[in-house]
Amino acid sequence: MDADFVHVSMNINGDDAIELFEFDEVIDVFGDIATDGTGQPWEYLDGWAYRLDGTGPDGSAFKLAHWYFSGIGGLSGAPDNPSSPQPFPIGTWMGGVQGLTTHDDFYTIPPDEDSLLEVLSNDLLPNGFHTFEIVTLPGKALATLQNDVIQYQPLIGFCGQDSLQYRLCDSLTCDSAWVWIEVECQPVYPAYPIALVRTVGPDGVVDSLGISCQLEGVVYGVNLRPGGLQFVLIDDQQTGITVFSQDDKGYSVLEGDRIVVRGTIAQYNGLTQIQPDEIEWVAGGQSLFAPLVVDSLGEFTESQLIRVENVKIVDPMEWTNAGPGFNVRVENGSREFVMRIDNDVNVYGSTPPTGSFHLTGLGTQFSSDAPFMDGYQIMPRYLADIDLIQSTSPDPTTTDELRIWPNPSRGMVQLSTNHSDLEFRLTDAWGRMVTLSKVLPVSEDVWHLDLRHLSPGVYHLTSLAKDGRMVTTRLVRIP
């Protein structure tokens, strides 16, 4: 059988399985060829795997116990093999039937807790063993034998490298091996105000990129990443930062929560973030700052609660209610702003506001290339952030319209038309019929409408006259 690819060397990664053929027969195998080795016991990324003396070839069945490993990263950072933390044991394998043979072991373990080290798992013991003893004690731990494993108990507060040596004997011979241990150091999170880690250089890159720290503040908005986390945290100095994580760290986002976030400063498309390692809940029901009224967007509005007043939508066709979110341009007569509607807020799926409105939201940024000094946006948290500007009394010069005031409303409104003997229908932002509680006539063309049973949101009220005339207007119920 001819090979599909011929080269002077093998190009393999630390998570690749390998089969050795003699003609069309598999005579040896490393790993599971049907499995990505990432995270598997036989992964050796940036390290090595080596066959135990006296084992193999194993045919088509992979036998993990016939191999031993440097651990992931065993060769990382070294200029040559002898300088590596775990040098590759070049040319040391011995075939055939061997006597008792021990092999060095490498472990990475957490601090301040006991670990059981199964050091015999890679040793060759054709006749079993009679004695098992620790001959060189570790310098930074207590080590004791527990049957055929070593219990390793690091000193409280210690992190770094340690080692011990053990010896095995059977009826014929003895052999010894070293156990190299890396006790992980816990990250340190100094407490900083958010403003200290939010500064950027002239290219828009955050100065504190990669810094570990602790930030405390109040949660603003909703979670924009189901299954993970994406929300804004604003501290007591009224400076904000976006919290982002691929998983939820055991925290359920609720606006008004005071939390402590410990993690690392990062940046995505210009937006400064903290990627949490852990989140500690402190208290709920905290007061929010009033939004900062602005007439432009920039680095100073990123992850801040802001408000732009008297704006209108530039092009209603941009309100697509499609995809993971969409952008809509709004303008206030002097400049345009980009409003971002995420599909995880209840604004998504509603109809675009008509006329002028005040827009509240959280500042964000999406700039794909450095310098990260553009792409600033405002993102409403919910429908109540779109504050329609309406007259508080009916306009007597308007005809053939359904007029409602006050709108937005917290419960009771009045409505008026130029027609009598009307039927009213109410639908929500998704077009579903909603039951009207009470419509009480005040006069021939004015009614009282009770909305107190409705949840806050955007609704559409339609009046139908006997002559077939139908008028629909937007109605906003606020908390």
pLDDT at 396: 34
Average pLDDT over residues 420-445: 71
When pLDDT is cut at 50, 70 and 90, the band that residue 429 belongs to is: low
Taking only the tens place, the pLDDT of each residue in 211-270 is 999 999 999 999 999 999 999 999 999 999 999 999 999 999 999 999 999 999 999 999
Taking only the tens place, the pLDDT of each residue in 302-319 is 999 999 999 999 999 999
User: Domain 18-183 maps to which CATH number in 3.50.50.60, 1.20.120.80, 3.30.450.20, 2.60.40.1080?
Assistant: 2.60.40.1080
**Residues 238, 355: Cα–Cα separation, whole Å:** 32
**Residues 148, 168: Cα–Cα separation, whole Å:** 11
Average pLDDT over residues 61-90: 80
List the single range of 267-276, 278-287, 422-431 with lowest mean pLDDT: 422-431
pLDDT at 401: 62
pLDDT at 467: 65
Average pLDDT over residues 443-448: 72
When pLDDT is cut at 50, 70 and 90, the band that residue 34 belongs to is: confident
List the single range of 293-297, 336-340, 353-357, 358-362 with lowest mean pLDDT: 353-357
Stronger pLDDT, 175 or 17, i.e. the higher one? 175
Domains of the chain, residue spans:
18-183, 194-283, 292-388, 403-477
Q: Cis omega (within 30 of 0) on the bond before 87?
A: no
- Is residue 108 pLDDT above 50, yes or no? yes
Cα–Cα distances (Å) from 344 to 315, 321, 347, in that order, read 22, 11, 9
Taking only the tens place, the pLDDT of each residue in 355-414 is 889 999 999 999 988 899 999 999 999 988 988 875 444 443 333 467 788 888 877 888
CA quadruple 379, 381, 382, 388: dihedral sign: negative
**One fold for 194-283 and 292-388:** yes
Taking only the tens place, the pLDDT of each residue in 124-155 is 888 889 999 999 999 999 999 998 999 999 99
CATH number of the structural domain 194-283: 2.40.50.140
pLDDT at 392: 41
When pLDDT is cut at 50, 70 and 90, the band that residue 292 belongs to is: very high
When pLDDT is cut at 50, 70 and 90, the band that residue 4 belongs to is: low
* Of 29, 40, 164, 147, nearest in space to 102 by CA: 164
Fold of 292-388: OB fold (Dihydrolipoamide Acetyltransferase, E2P) (2.40.50)
**Residues 236, 73: Cα–Cα separation, whole Å:** 42
CATH superfamily name and code, 403-477: Immunoglobulins (2.60.40.10)
- Is residue 322 pLDDT above 80, yes or no? yes
**Residues 230, 445: Cα–Cα separation, whole Å:** 49
pLDDT at 421: 62
